[in-house]
């Protein structure tokens, strides 16, 4: 493997967005924590990542004496990544009063930067981080019982690894993941006022976490998704050391049984279990008979944003690796980094990575404005941006990962180079937390329920068309105009009748076009605000390639230095 760049100092895209979204003072304050994390990523955490990837978790259902324990043994590397996640406040930062004081709404921007540095070589510890953040946001809601919040939230947002915990999220059942309304897990009030849960959960990631938020149907409620409610389930027996859930001697709480761990294509270090709940103790998160699904969406929006961050970060790190290899590797015509065809390939990957980053960065910035400023316009915008960012970056990440493997030739297919996992781990991104189809239908639903959203979206494109005209970014202008033309009728049709066959069948194309157009509008906006040359070039090439169906190869080759450094 060639020498790799500094994941923070050499990431011009990250630094340019941070400087705009945080301002000079905010960036100066974030510089220390980001440098500290980057230094760990390039040293011990890279080693921990490799260790966790090569020592997948093991389920021990029984102890030596035959007692059922359902204990998951994880690697030292996984534990090291857990410690780093807590110490660097990956979950905690946006909840800490001092961070909100320092960065205001930008606390979520700083968190996104931390995730961007940490994620790609974290053996997917980003998964428990995402779910812990989702659980923390859920528990922070004002309609959640303060006693429940006070008991669990401080641990979810602790920066002391001895205290910090993560969370799972148990929604999917074998009869339906996308359609949670089919859930058969039921919750019953017990005589002592607490609740018990009965059911089978089919995909429970980070099963070593100290708690999970599970969807269950309170006894007596009708069918469908709207009667489901979130319940907090402590994962371990009461006397277990919560901070070290995989420690020897630790066992499942009564009524929680792990059938087996999933043998997955990727995310191999993440223990994902099939779980049986047999009268397991559960705590309602809010009123179980009212608004449960809406509360659960607080969590789901957060994990969708983390998914987008992971996709975008993986693309940037893949580019850094492939770029470094292009300097080191020679082919028939000389160094790869001087070959026009390879330069063009890498440059277009860099453009994709910039577009994905713009979507993730914007989504986190909106979230911060909602949480800290109570910004209603940001809330309305995020209703569309969350599914669009998740679905667009998920698809881009898989396509890019495949290209990155190819950039390494045969070495990209050989396990001990560490490269193949880029593709394996990317493939989960379009699946969990809503597949591309399911999120596309969510976009249609949002357009139908809030008719103003479509107009606001087109308004954003119009503003970007004006900016790209002012900046003379012709490709962006062409791309935005093409998208606006294609979307005008599609958005109106979706708003009018979300069940119309043409709307349903066309939902995926419409949503991907929206995602591409949104990314382009954000790149143009960023270029207008900063004058950043690399962003202008990315907007030009992205608009032409993704939306205006124009050939970009030669221009991409000529823009290699500015896009790939």
- How near is the Cβ of 269 to ligand FAD at its closest, in Å? 11
Q: Tell me if 149 sits within 8 A of 230, measured CB to CB.
A: no
Using the minimum distance from each CB to ligand FAD, give the nearer residue, 235 or 484: 235
- Contacting residues toward ligand FAD, per CB under 6 A: 168-172, 176-178, 203-205, 264, 267, 272, 428, 431-433, 435, 437-438, 441
Using the minimum distance from each CB to ligand FAD, give the nearer residue, 41 or 270: 270
CA-angle at 309, arms to 173 and 377, nearest 5°: 95
- How near is the Cβ of 463 to ligand FAD at its closest, in Å? 32
DSSP string over 305-358: HHHHHHHHHHHHHHHHHHHHHHHH-EETTEEGGG-HHHHHHHHHHHHHHHHHHH
Using the minimum distance from each CB to ligand FAD, give the nearer residue, 95 or 170: 170
- How near is the Cβ of 231 to ligand FAD at its closest, in Å? 13
- How near is the Cβ of 395 to ligand FAD at its closest, in Å? 12
Using the minimum distance from each CB to ligand FAD, give the nearer residue, 320 or 429: 429
Structure tokens at 550: 């124009």
CA 176 – CA 395 distance, rounded (Å) = 22
Q: Is 170 helix (H, G, I), strand (E, B) or coil?
A: strand
- How near is the Cβ of 271 to ligand FAD at its closest, in Å? 10
- How near is the Cβ of 292 to ligand FAD at its closest, in Å? 15
Q: Residues 6 or more apart from 245 whose CB is under 8 A from it?
A: 72, 165, 208, 209, 210, 235, 236
* Counts of helices then strands in the chain (DSSP H, E): 19, 11
380 CB neighbour count, 10 Å cutoff: 17
Q: Is 70 left (phi over 0), alpha (psi -120 to 50) or beta?
A: left
Using the minimum distance from each CB to ligand FAD, give the nearer residue, 215 or 541: 215
**DSSP 8-state secondary structure symbol assigned to residue 520:** H
Question: Closest-CB residue for ligand FAD?
Answer: 177
- How near is the Cβ of 124 to ligand FAD at its closest, in Å? 9
CA 108 – CA 360 distance, rounded (Å) = 11
Terminal alpha carbon distance of the chain: 19
Using the minimum distance from each CB to ligand FAD, give the nearer residue, 14 or 52: 52
- How near is the Cβ of 272 to ligand FAD at its closest, in Å? 5
**DSSP 8-state secondary structure symbol assigned to residue 284:** E
Structure tokens at 553: 């190869």
- How near is the Cβ of 418 to ligand FAD at its closest, in Å? 19
- How near is the Cβ of 518 to ligand FAD at its closest, in Å? 21
72 CB neighbour count, 10 Å cutoff: 23
Using the minimum distance from each CB to ligand FAD, give the nearer residue, 204 or 319: 204
Using the minimum distance from each CB to ligand FAD, give the nearer residue, 206 or 524: 206
- Contacts for 163-166 with beta carbons within 8 Å, 24 or more apart? 163/243, 164/82, 164/85, 164/86, 164/91, 164/92, 164/243, 165/132, 165/209, 165/210, 165/211, 165/242, 165/243, 165/245, 166/82, 166/85, 166/91, 166/128, 166/129, 166/131, 166/132, 166/206, 166/209, 166/210
Using the minimum distance from each CB to ligand FAD, give the nearer residue, 504 or 553: 504
Q: Classify each residue of 174-210 as buried b or exposed e, where b means 16 or more C-beta atoms within 10 Å of its C-beta.
A: eeebeebeebebbbeeeeeeebbbbbbbbbbbbbbbb
Using the minimum distance from each CB to ligand FAD, give the nearer residue, 111 or 272: 272
293: number of CA atoms within 13 Å, CB side?
Answer: 11
- How near is the Cβ of 390 to ligand FAD at its closest, in Å? 12
Using the minimum distance from each CB to ligand FAD, give the nearer residue, 135 or 365: 135
- How near is the Cβ of 453 to ligand FAD at its closest, in Å? 20
């Amino acid at each position: 493997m060639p020498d790799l760049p500094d994941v923070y100092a050499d990431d011009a895209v990250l630094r340019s967005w941070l400087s705009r979204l945080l301002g000079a003072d905010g960036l100066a304050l974030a510089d220390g924590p980001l440098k500290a994390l980057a230094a760990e990523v390039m040293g011990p955490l890279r080693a921990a990542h490799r260790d966790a990837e090569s020592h997948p978790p093991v389920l021990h259902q029984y102890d030596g004496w035959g007692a059922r324990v359902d204990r998951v043994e994880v690697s030292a590397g996984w534990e090291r990544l857990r410690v780093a996640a807590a110490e660097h406040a990956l979950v905690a930062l946006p909840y800490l009063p001092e961070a909100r004081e320092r960065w205001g709404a930008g606390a979520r921007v700083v968190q996104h930067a931390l995730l961007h540095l940490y994620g790609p070589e974290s053996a997917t510890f980003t998964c428990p981080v995402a779910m812990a953040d989702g659980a923390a946001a859920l528990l922070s809601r004002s309609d959640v019982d303060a006693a429940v919040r006070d008991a669990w939230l401080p641990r979810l947002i602790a920066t002391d690894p001895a205290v910090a915990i993560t969370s799972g999220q148990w929604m999917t059942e074998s009869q339906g993941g996308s359609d949670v309304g089919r859930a058969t897990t039921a919750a019953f009030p017990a005589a002592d006022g607490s609740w018990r849960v009965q059911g089978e959960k089919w995909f429970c990631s980070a099963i070593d976490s100290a708690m999970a938020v599970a969807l269950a149907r309170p006894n007596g409620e009708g069918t469908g998704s709207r009667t489901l409610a979130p319940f907090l389930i402590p994962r371990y027996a009461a006397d277990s050391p919560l901070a070290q859930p995989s420690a020897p001697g630790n066992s499942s709480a009564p009524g929680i049984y792990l059938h087996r761990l999933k043998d997955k294509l990727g995310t191999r270090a993440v223990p994902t279990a099939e779980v049986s709940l047999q009268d397991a103790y559960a705590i309602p998160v809010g009123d179980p008979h009212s608004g449960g699904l809406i509360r659960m969406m607080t969590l789901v929006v957060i994990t969708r944003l983390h998914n987008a961050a992971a996709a975008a970060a993986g693309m940037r790190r893949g580019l850094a690796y492939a770029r470094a290899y292009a300097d080191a590797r020679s082919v028939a015509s000389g160094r790869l980094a001087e070959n026009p065809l390879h330069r063009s390939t890498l440059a277009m990957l860099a453009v994709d990575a910039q577009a994905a980053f713009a979507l993730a960065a914007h989504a986190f910035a909106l979230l911060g404005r909602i949480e800290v400023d109570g910004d209603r316009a940001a809330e309305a915008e995020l209703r569309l941006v969350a599914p669009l960012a998740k679905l667009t970056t998920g698809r881009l990440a898989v396509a890019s990962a495949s290209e990155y493997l190819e950039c390494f030739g045969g070495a990209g297919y050989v396990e001990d180079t560490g490269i193949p996992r880029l593709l394996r781990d990317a493939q989960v991104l379009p699946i969990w937390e809503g597949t591309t189809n399911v999120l596309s239908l969510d976009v249609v639903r949002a357009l139908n329920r809030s008719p103003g959203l479509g107009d606001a979206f087109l308004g954003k494109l119009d503003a970007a068309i004006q900016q790209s005209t002012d900046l003379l970014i012709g490709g962006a202008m062409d791309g935005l105009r093409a998208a606006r033309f294609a979307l005008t009728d599609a958005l109106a049709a979706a708003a009018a009748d979300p069940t119309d066959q043409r709307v349903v069948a066309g939902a995926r194309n419409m949503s991907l076009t929206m995602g591409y157009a949104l990314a382009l509008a954000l790149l143009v906006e960023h270029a207008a605000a900063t004058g950043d040359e690399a962003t202008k070039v990315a907007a030009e090439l992205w608009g032409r390639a993704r939306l205006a169906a124009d050939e970009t190869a030669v221009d991409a080759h000529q823009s290699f230095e500015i896009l790939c450094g």
